[in-house]
Homo-oligomer: A and B are copies of this chain.
Amino acid sequence: MSIQPPRPRGPSLNALRAFEASARLGGFTAAAEELNVTPGAVAQQIKNLEDWLGEPLFQRTSQGVRLTALGEATAGRFSDAFDQLGEAVGHLRARASTAQISVAALPSLAQCWLMPRLPALRRALPDLVISVTALEKPPNLIREAFDVSLFFSEAAPGADEIRIAEDRIYPVCAPEVAASVSSVDDLTQVPCLRDGHWQADWQVWLRRAMPDRPIAVTGPQYSLYSMALDAARSGGGVLMGHDSLVAPLIERGELVRLFDLTVPTGRWLTLRTTRPVHPALKRFIDLLAS
């Protein structure tokens, strides 16, 4: 007997989330990455929201978007609201007994630092289901379903962060290659392996090794550090080694250091966690950071 009228429809929650992420990150492309969709999807969501509202939230320019006054005035409230929503989801996951741990890590850290430690971790924490995702950039832990992230960071550690090790670099190579390099100048005569994402490493080290006389080294480039590392192990050249990643190989004699100069990059291998940290997660990060 009751009337079932067409209630006025509110904006879609996904559209609000797209708006919030775009406002916070300063563009549709960045928001799309965080939301794990294409930029076109974000653009459409925001267009829907603007149509619903009857007013633009972003001013489009050919090199990006800028918030309108309306968008500027309201975006912060949405960030607060979605922060709180993320927190609530965190509590939900924290209290659920199924102990899922999801780790986001830089590909090189995932492969060269975390993977070697995983077997022991899984043995020590057999009740946890640990999954690892390699990402180029640190995820937003409040918004995305990760529990822990593992990246290099320059910033001073915040409340939810633990500095695991300082990032220090030095050249390494296979033992049989070491014989052919006795001075820094010899580096120009051998392939100097590089990682695509850490292009600057060689320059950073060389600036300290040869402050007065700049020299240039060349060599093949790999998109993944682990590939460059494999190349170095098999005698393919000299790699700029990151201490956290190559130390075990030096220990085992698979690689040897060239020269004694160790240069800190100013970054730290930093472990970051979501709030709240539930008991299972606490055990995990305690083991990882020890």
Interface, chain A (partner B; CB < 8 A) = 1-3, 5-11, 13-14, 16-17, 36, 53-55, 70, 73-74, 77-78, 80-82, 84-85, 87-89, 91-93, 95-98, 100, 102, 107, 131, 133-136, 139, 143-146, 196, 223
Q: How far is the CA of A15 from the CA of B97 in the complex (A)?
A: 20
Q: How far is the CA of A11 from the CA of B196 in the complex (A)?
A: 35
Instruction: Indicate if the CB atoms of A81 and B84 lie closer than 8 Å.
Output: yes
Residue of B nearest to A1 (CB): B223
Determine how close the nearest CB of chain B comes to the CB of A187; give it in whole angstroms. Answer: 26
Task: Given the known inter-chain contacts A80-B84, A81-B84, please indicate yes or no for A89 contacting B11, CB distance below 8 A.
Answer: yes
A139 surroundings in chain B (CB, below 8 A): 7
Majority DSSP secondary structure for residues of A touching B: mixed
Q: How far is the CA of A34 from the CA of B63 in the complex (A)?
A: 42
Instruction: Indicate if the CB atoms of A93 and B53 lie closer than 8 Å.
Output: yes
A96's contact among B55, B77, B78, by CB below 8 Å, is which? B55
Residue of B nearest to A70 (CB): B95
Instruction: Indicate if the CB atoms of B92 and A53 lie closer than 8 Å.
Output: yes
Instruction: Indicate if the CB atoms of B88 and A85 lie closer than 8 Å.
Output: no
Task: Given the known inter-chain contacts A9-B145, A96-B55, A196-B1, please indicate yes or no for A78 contacting B74, CB distance below 8 A.
Answer: no
A9 surroundings in chain B (CB, below 8 A): 36, 145
Instruction: Indicate if the CB atoms of A95 and B74 lie closer than 8 Å.
Output: yes
Instruction: Indicate if the CB atoms of A96 and B53 lie closer than 8 Å.
Output: yes
Instruction: Indicate if the CB atoms of A107 and B10 lie closer than 8 Å.
Output: no
Task: Given the known inter-chain contacts A13-B13, A95-B70, please indicate yes or no for A5 contacting B135, CB distance below 8 A.
Answer: yes
Task: Given the known inter-chain contacts A78-B88, A85-B82, A95-B73, please indicate yes or no for A36 contacting B55, CB distance below 8 A.
Answer: no
Interface-central residue, A3, A89, A98, A100, by most chain B CB under 10 Å: A89
Instruction: Indicate if the CB atoms of A85 and B96 lie closer than 8 Å.
Output: no
Determine how close the nearest CB of chain B comes to the CB of A29; give it in whole angstroms. Answer: 13
Residue of B nearest to A93 (CB): B53
Instruction: Indicate if the CB atoms of A92 and B80 lie closer than 8 Å.
Output: no
A77 surroundings in chain B (CB, below 8 A): 84, 87-88, 91
